[in-house]
Structure 1
Amino acid sequence: MELFNRQTSRRNFLKTGAALAAAPAMATAVGTRAVGQSAQSLRVGVLRAPAAGVIEIGRTIGAYEAEGLNFAPVLFDSASGPKIIQALGGDSIDLSFVNTTAALLALAQGAVPLKMISVPTDPSQLFALIGKSDIESVQGLRGKKVAATEGTALHYFLARVLTKYGMSFSDIEFVNLPAPQGQAAFVAGQVDAVVPSVNGRFYLMSTDKTAREVFTHKDFGADPNPQNFINYDLFVTTEKVVNTQADNLKKFLAAYHGKAVPYLKDAGTREKAISSITEYINTAQKNPTDPTIMSQIIDNSGFYDRNEVRQVMSSPDLREAMEYQIKFFTDLRKISKTPNLDNAIVTDLV
């Protein structure tokens, strides 16, 4: 099983990315300027996810305007990290956020000159493997159908869980599905277990009486083979955008980390911020959440102000987590070329 087809050429990758990105970007950019605006606009790809909700808070409180940024969000109704990166490679957007897994696999493929410029959040503690009530352990997954989204943090989480117990994908029947479809398949009994989205985890556990958490983040620290698991979300762009819009990138990050995140963390505005994020995510959401669940998600995620994110970007933890993941996929023969992290990590924009 290959996470990405190694035979895909750069030309075909970018061509596919442009086609995938153009339709959602043109059709679903809401409350924003058109995508093909002036060169001074920063086109930011967003999803219905907590980090995007914080990006939206920045817009509603005037953070980008205060920085002098012509901010143009482009909403993707349904996309995963690889599709976002294809959109970057196809020049449909200038900036977005993806998990570390998607970024590293794209770097290894070499199709897009990707740059990792900041960390919007750390959702690592929110990942979980959900199974039916009769599955009492990871070992109980042998021969079972398990759904996750290939090439994403959810896929990497599942791979790490299996490896911890001396298992591999050959021990299960892996079903590659986008998170919403995987969750629906689980509810319908078409798969035995699923690694859901963050919101999907709470939704399944509160609505499906047959669901149980087979493995959560805290279990990485338990026997057998105690280990750490870190998988940051990353703000990613391309070399071209860094070279041509560095000032706009700095303005965006100043607004996000310097204004939007503090608005979320401030006791006086936190409740309103969480309500706004909940409303943002629930728009066109098949698995709606509520402020109570969203508060749990926020509490277990790392959202960083400017000083905090500078520490994260310069911390050895970031690079070590990436190097561990690179080695992990190299050992599994999922990547054959080691990404150049020195070239990909940009620390002077925050």
Structure 2
Amino acid sequence: MLVSSIAPNTRSLFGQFFVDKSLFLQASLPFGNVEPVMLSPIERFFSSNLKLSHLRMLVALSDLKQVTRVAAAFHVTQPAVSKQLAEIEQAMEASLTLRVGNTVQLTDVGKALARRGREILRQVDLARKDVTALVSGTAGHVVLGAVTAVPQALVSNVVMSFLSRAPAATLTFIEGPLDALHTMLLEGRVDVVLGRTKVKDDPEVVQESLYREPFVFVVGVSHPLARSSSVTLAELHNFPWLVPLKQSPSYIALARLMEDHGVDINDAWVESSSVLLNIELLARGSFVSILPLSYAREHVAHGRICLLPTPPLEQLGEVIMCRRADLENPAALVIADCVREEATDRSKFSPSITDNEYPSSLL
């Protein structure tokens, strides 16, 4: 009766809840001939006894390796931590830790629970932030700026996350060169800037390194080097270059690297800050250029370009977030959180290039 009175979109959730709980109650129900179902210790622990405090303690133990350090981190006594650990082991009838010298190592069971627990705690924290923003009615206007070399997928995910978390707020996105965006940041015309290199140290600006993603050398699929299994940077001097805007950090890093290999790109045929134009020119001409790895992977998958089997340009490997040190706009603080969370997700995926992404594997 209770389940039928719940809204249709929540009925299945509550229905499952009552099915699970009935496993404990069937023996005392006054109707039917249903045989009681006994839960295993592990099932009973996860259905009724697991607490967030258990997960926090276990994740901390995984990181800190000592009970005394965990106790200090949570401002509790060492026996209190040991008691929580014993509760989990007793409930699950499984050992979670091994003592190795002066450290505590997790067993395979402990590692599995800590790994899943870390993700659960992260999701709980995201839920807290979402609910806080919705209840507080976070509003206002945010201006987000980014250089073209910041992946569009990152920016779009940040924007969607921000809009869901702060539906009363509005947003403006500006794409441009880093020096112009930095000036706008100092003048208060931009709240948060995403770039590919750090700006000059300034007490008014906070810079955070988000994750690493290298630039790679690319050509069109019809380029003479497109199917080469081995290419040196010195060999690239015979081809026209498609480069970032001169004086940009990307251009400066590229020019220095190529100069070290005897290649002068100062007379490049085309300077462009448009990724879409660059892809079209690469696909139709004999240009050589660089792209962030995520951009390159996307267009390699579409059959437009090829990666050259050369070392990536690691000098531009970082993705950086800049904001004013005195930033107080609640909506801007929310979008900064969204940027960090998206960067954390992206950092879980390896930024390195696999062998099967090089053209030699396609021969």
**TM-score band w.r.t. shorter chain:** 0.3 to 0.5
TM-score, length-normalised on structure 1? 0.45
TM-score, length-normalised on structure 2? 0.44
Q: Report which structure shows greater RCO (CA 8 Å, sep ≥6).
A: 1
Structure (1 or 2) with the larger CA radius of gyration: 2
